[in-house]
A and B are shown apart, each in its own frame.
Chain A
Amino acid sequence: MDYYLSVATFAALNVILAIGLNLISGFCGQVSLGHAAFYGLGAYAAALASVAGVPFPLAILGGVLVAGVFGIVVGFAALRVREDFLAIVTMGVGFLFLGAVRKQPWLGAEMGIAKIPSPLDKWGYAALAIGAAVALVLLSLHVRRSWMGRAFGAVAQDEDAARTIGIDVAGYKIAAFFIGTAAAGLAGGIYAHMTQLIIPDTFNFIQSITILAMVVIGGIGSTYGVVAGAILLTLMPELFRFINDYKLLVYGALLLLVMRFSPGGLAGMIQRAFGVRLA
C-alpha cells in the first residue's frame, strides 16, 4: 500500500510541475529548459525554513514565494532575449542553481539538507499533493478560459501584433513565469518535507527535461493532456525499471518522436481520433 501511495504522490507532484511549465511554455509560448531549478528553489527554501523552526504551512508558502520571485527575475530575462536564446538562458539558470547549491556549505553542498521535520504521514502527503494538483489543474483550466489565457495565446502566436493591439506583452510573460515557477516551488516544498532529505541532483537537467517531456508528450497547451503525460511518465519508470538509468535517452527520444510525428502530443492524437478537443 505504501508503495502505491508514494507513486500516487509523485504523480501528483509531477502534475503540479508539468502544469506549471505548460503555463509558461504551452500557454504563453516561452521555452524553459530549467524548470527543475524552481522545483529545487522551493524545496531548499521550504526545507531551510522548516529546519529553522518555521511552521509547516509557512515554510511551504516560503518555498512558493522564493521560486516565484526567481521566476519573475527569469521572466525579465525572457524580455531581453530572442526566443531560441531563451532556451539557453533557462538551461543556464538550471545549471547556475545546481552549481551554486553544490558549493554552499549552508545549503549542505553535495550532501543536501537532511532531517527536515515531517509533520504529516504518508496519507497526509498524498492528500496534500493530490489536493494541490487538483487545485492547479482547476487554475490552469480557468486561466485558459479567462482573458489572461487568450492574451497568453496572442503573445505566444505573435508578440509584435499583440503589442500593437495594446497587450502588455512583458506583463503577461512575467505573470506566466511567476505562476508557473511558484507552482514548481509548491511541489518542491511538499517533496522536501515528505522525503525529509533533499540533494542537489534531484533538481538537475534530467529533471528539467523529464518535466518538459511530460508536457510535450501529453500535448503542449492542453491541461488534460499534460496531466496524462505527467502520470504516464511517472508510471513508466516504475513499470520498466531500466528507464531510470536511461532517462535522458528515453525521454529525449520520446520528445523528438512526438515533435516529429504528433506535435500535439497525446491530446493531439485524441483530437484526431475522436474529434474532441481537450481543454
Chain B
Amino acid sequence: MMLLAGERLSIAFGGVHAVEDVSLAVAEGELVGLIGPNGAGKTTLLRLLTGILAPDSGRVLFEGRDITRMPIHRRAQLGFALTHQIVRPFRDMTLAENVMMAAAGGVTARPWRALAKVDARGARERAMALLARLGIDDAADKLARNVPLGYLKRMQAARALALEPRLLLLDEPLAGLNAAEATRFADLIVELNAGGITILLVEHNLGEVTRIARRLLVLHNGSLLAEGEPRAVMARQDVRDAYLGEEAHA
C-alpha cells in the first residue's frame, strides 16, 4: 500500500491554478524528488499534502486512509513532518528549544498533560543529539533570531526529525547552503531514508536531487509533466523546455 497518495488534487488562488488535477503516490521507504521551475506549484502541492491548505477538490490519503480534512497537528502526530521553504523558527527560542518543542510531542499533545509536566531533560537530550547530527550543536543555545539562515535551515530539519516522522516532506532544504553543506545535507537525507523514513524532496539543486532521488516528479504550471527515473526524466525534451522556458522569461 502507498504511504502517501494525492488523488486529483486541485487548488486555485483567484484565477491562478496553482495545482491542477495532480495525482501522486509515494511508497513506504521511497526517496522521491519533486522538481519544477519557479512558480510550478511545488510548495502549494506540499501544503495540500500536509493540510496547511485545503484542496478545492481531490483527496489526500495516508496508508489508504482519507486525511483530507484532518487538522495539521493530528497529521504531524501521525508521522507527517515538513520543513518550510521560507524558514519558520520560533524566533525567541534557542535552536535547542525549537527542536525540543517537537521532541516533546507526547507531552504537548494535550494541554492539560503539558501543564502537569515540567521536566525537559529527555527532550533536551534528544534535541542536542539531533542538532549534533546536523552539525549545528555549537549554536544550540543561541536564539533563533540571531543565527544565520544555513543554521535555521538545518534546525528545521532537526525539528522535523524530532517528530520521529515516517514521512518527511522537505521544501528546498539545500537552498541557502553552500556547496559543501548542500552535499553533506543531501548525504544526510539519503542516510535518513536508509534508516526507514520515506522522503518527498522539493529541490532546485538539480545536481543533488538527481544524485540522491530514485524517482523524480516534474511539476509545470500546476500539472504533473513527467515522472520516472531521474536521468531519463532529465533527458526528456519537454522537461528541458519547461526549465529553459523559465530561463527565457528570466
Contacts and interface: CB of A to CB of B under 8 A. Distances in A.
B204 to A, nearest CB: 22
Interface stretch (B104-112, B175-183, B191-199): B104-112
A168 B82 contact: no
A85 to B, nearest CB: 21
Interface in B57-98: 71-73, 76-77, 81-82, 84, 88-93, 97
A171 B108 CA distance: 10
A43 interface: no
Contacts of B92: 153, 157
Given A157-B92, A161-B89, A151 B52 contact: no
**Chain A, interface SS category:** helix
A161 B84 contact: yes
Interface stretch (A121-129, A142-150, A226-234): A142-150
A154 interface: yes
Contacts of A172: 111
A163 B91 CA distance: 16
B110 A167 contact: no
B84 to A, nearest CB: 7
B50 A164 contact: yes
A171 B73 CA distance: 11
B163 A166 contact: yes
Interface residues of A, number: 26
A158 interface: yes
A167 B89 contact: no
B109 A168 contact: yes
A170 B73 CA distance: 10
Nearest to A139: B115
Given A150-B101, A171-B110, A166 B90 contact: no
A166 B109 contact: yes
B90 A153 contact: yes
A116 interface: no
A164 B107 contact: no
Nearest to A171: B111
Contacts of B91: 157-158
A154 B163 CA distance: 15
Contacts of A170: 71
Given A167-B101, A167-B108, A147 B118 contact: yes
A147 B90 contact: no
B224 to A, nearest CB: 25
B104 A147 contact: yes
A157 B92 CA distance: 8
B72 A164 contact: yes
A64 B50 CA distance: 39
B163 A150 contact: no
- Of the candidates A145, A161, A171, the one having the most CB atoms from chain B within 10 angstroms of its own CB is A161
Interface of A: 142-143, 145-148, 150-151, 153-154, 157-158, 160-172, 175
Q: Report, nearest first, the 4 A-B pairs whose CB atoms are least far apart.
A: A166-B76, A147-B114, A161-B88, A175-B111
